[in-house]
Amino acid sequence: MTIKQIPTQPFSDQRPGTSGLRKKVTRFQQPHYLENFVQSIFDSVGDIQGKTIVVGGDGRYYNQQAIQIIIRMAAANGIGRVMVGRAGLLSTPAASTVIRKYRTHGGIILSASHNPGGPDGDFGIKYNTANGGPAPEKITEAIYQRSREIEHYLILDSIDTPLDQCGSYSVGNMTVEVIDPVADYAELMEELFDFDAIHDLLTGGFALRFDAMHAITGPYAREILENRLGAAAGTVMNGNPLPDFGGHHPDPNLAHAKALVEQLFSEEGPDFGAASDGDGDRNMILGKNFYVTPSDSLALLTANANLVPGYQKGIAGVARSMPTSLAVDRVAERLGIDCYETPTGWKFFGNLMDAGKVTLCGEESFGTGSSHIREKDGLWAVLFWLNILAARKQSVADIVQQHWAEYGRNFYTRHDYEEVDMEEAQGIMEHLEQQFPTLTGRRLGSYRVEQCDNFSYTDPVDGSTSSSQGIRILFEGGSRIVYRLSGTGTVGATLRVYIESYDPDPRNHQQDPQQALEPLIDIAVELGQIDSRTGRTRPSVIT
């Protein structure tokens, strides 16, 4: 086996977004494209000689081929050991678990999260650092700058490594250790939650359905929910990971998990339903005839954390992304703990957790997590809810409605306009900013603008700043509209519009959010000139 130095030229589109580099599979399959980015990682993340890294992905199309390339490049670049999930599989939360447990130098995760898969679908790659979390901006920027000047990459001339069975293999001077992708993660969950209480719940007539969406969490959910916690066989639906996710969009929301939603809203439906996404880091929570918004879920987990063994010693603080509802802020105030508002992107929570400032955190985009790892964690959130249900012995709807009665309800919705022309999307953002000088104090319908800005964040741990993170229109009384361009898509731009209004009166809490927020929704569309600038008369997805 010899090390080859392959001449190459830079690609102009390898700047990582909030969740790494995401492109169409066909782009990654172009000669040298993946290799350039992997070499740029190895050149930018510190001394890797003799070190251990973790590699795995969500099983989407091109996952295994990419892993074989990464293994051969790792060997050529002097890495000492690669830990890879059997069959190339590792959920994003599990990868973070393995990185932290074995104190590796970091890890490469292959996923485009909730984006569609298959030969014509999306693919992604990101680097996680030794804390188990996504690389901070200073590292992703270094990777990008290296990708702009790369002239060659190193790769070992060797055969593929067997990945279908656990064991150790030699690749040049490097060891490849194929590990059980589920075991370490499942053991961590047993440490955090009251498995005995959840087992009693799930074997005592409580009906549960979990939709793995033919993505990575199928094996994890079967092992934990069915094998360890006693849920009935078949509780996990769509449990076999498929390269194209069965032709479906692996995004756990009301639009893309329709079969699960229909079951929970049927007469004979189960008591509790949940779903996770492509790489296992997102979650949707449903009760019988009841949908829990991600923002409400974060607030409820925080308010009930004392019922869960892993969090009974107390919560240091909480954090939410800026677009996420202010519902958790009210809980934090009551508990007397700090609540941090960060830009979107899990890496911003990492510093806060490493510094001991927060324990729980979440984003409105169906992501919640805690300091047990440094990624959001879909199945963890499901187990947290099951632990609360086992302890409180109430329905999901009763728990949420009691929470609203105590704290008030933050009516909240997100309207996504997908695959918008990039120039049109940027034009909307520029148009909004141009209105700032005349917006403050202006009355829009029955609302008066109190403040408007393009959100900027200064990290309280390292002092780094992140600007232009989303346009906020804040109204007197706590209502707000937020506009943001998402970095998770691969075609055009996704314009996300977040609308929120607070109501403390329980008599109003049963309203449908779209109806309760209708005046603000109309203001959001008109203020951004969304219809006229995009030609869209309605959002692609409403959550």
The model's pLDDT over 168-200, given as tens digits with 9 standing for 90+, comes to 999 999 999 999 999 999 999 999 999 999 999
Query: Cα–Cα distance between 282 and 262 in angstroms, integer?
Result: 20
Percent of the chain with pLDDT over 70: 99
pLDDT digits (tens, 9 = 90+) for 230-283: 999 999 999 999 999 999 999 998 889 999 999 999 999 999 999 999 999 999
Q: Say if residues 255 and 324 touch (Cβ distance below 8 Å).
A: no
Same fold for the pair 3-181 and 185-407:
yes
Q: Say if residues 457 and 348 touch (Cβ distance below 8 Å).
A: yes
pLDDT band at 1 (very low <50, low <70, confident <90, very high): confident
DSSP state of 17: B
CATH number (3.40.120.10, 3.40.50.2300, 1.10.3720.10, 3.90.1860.10) of 185-407 reads 3.40.120.10
Percent of the chain with pLDDT over 90: 92
pLDDT for 499: 97
Q: Beta partners for 465?
A: 458
Query: Cα–Cα distance between 401 and 313 in angstroms, integer?
Result: 26
Residue carrying the six token digits 């050149």: 43
Phi, psi of 379 (to 5 degrees): -70, -35
Query: Cβ neighbours of residue 172 under 8 Å, at least 6 residues apart?
Result: 1, 3, 75, 76, 156, 158
pLDDT band at 531 (very low <50, low <70, confident <90, very high): very high
Query: Cα–Cα distance between 518 and 496 in angstroms, integer?
Result: 17
Query: Cα–Cα distance between 377 and 282 in angstroms, integer?
Result: 6
Written as six digits, the tokens of 232 are 């009935």
pLDDT for 541: 84
The mean predicted confidence, pLDDT, of the chain is 95
Residues belonging to the chain: 543
Query: Cα–Cα distance between 381 and 360 in angstroms, integer?
Result: 11
Q: Beta partners for 237?
A: 211
Q: Say if residues 360 and 318 touch (Cβ distance below 8 Å).
A: yes
Q: Say if residues 187 and 179 touch (Cβ distance below 8 Å).
A: no
pLDDT for 489: 53
113 is catalytic: yes
pTM of the model: 0.94
490 pLDDT above the threshold of 70: no
State how beta strands 471-475 and 480-486 pair.
antiparallel
488 pLDDT above the threshold of 60: no
Written as six digits, the tokens of 124 are 């992604």
pLDDT band at 322 (very low <50, low <70, confident <90, very high): very high
The CATH superfamily of 3-181 is: Alpha-D-Glucose-1,6-Bisphosphate, subunit A, domain 3 (3.40.120.10)
Query: Cα–Cα distance between 82 and 179 in angstroms, integer?
Result: 10
pLDDT digits (tens, 9 = 90+) for 51-80: 999 999 999 999 999 999 999 999 999 999
DSSP conformation letters of 500-512: EEEE--GGGTTS-
Query: Cα–Cα distance between 273 and 382 in angstroms, integer?
Result: 9
Query: Cα–Cα distance between 298 and 381 in angstroms, integer?
Result: 9
For the domain spanning 409-542, the CATH number is 3.30.310.50
Taking the mean position of all CA atoms in its chain, how far away is CA 126? 13
Nearest CA to 322 among 283, 295, 287, 302? Answer: 295
Q: What is the mean pLDDT of residues 93-100?
A: 98
Q: Which sequence spans correspond to the domains of the chain?
A: 3-181, 185-407, 409-542
Written as six digits, the tokens of 291 are 């949908």
Q: What is the mean pLDDT of residues 207-232?
A: 98
pLDDT for 19: 81
Taking the mean position of all CA atoms in its chain, how far away is CA 120? 22
CB neighbourhood size of 47 (10 A): 8
DSSP state of 167: E
**Residue of 113, 297, 370, 486 marked active site:** 113
pLDDT digits (tens, 9 = 90+) for 407-447: 999 999 999 999 899 999 999 999 999 999 999 999 999 99
**Residue ranges of E strands in 249-355:** 272-276, 283-287, 290-292, 317-321, 338-342
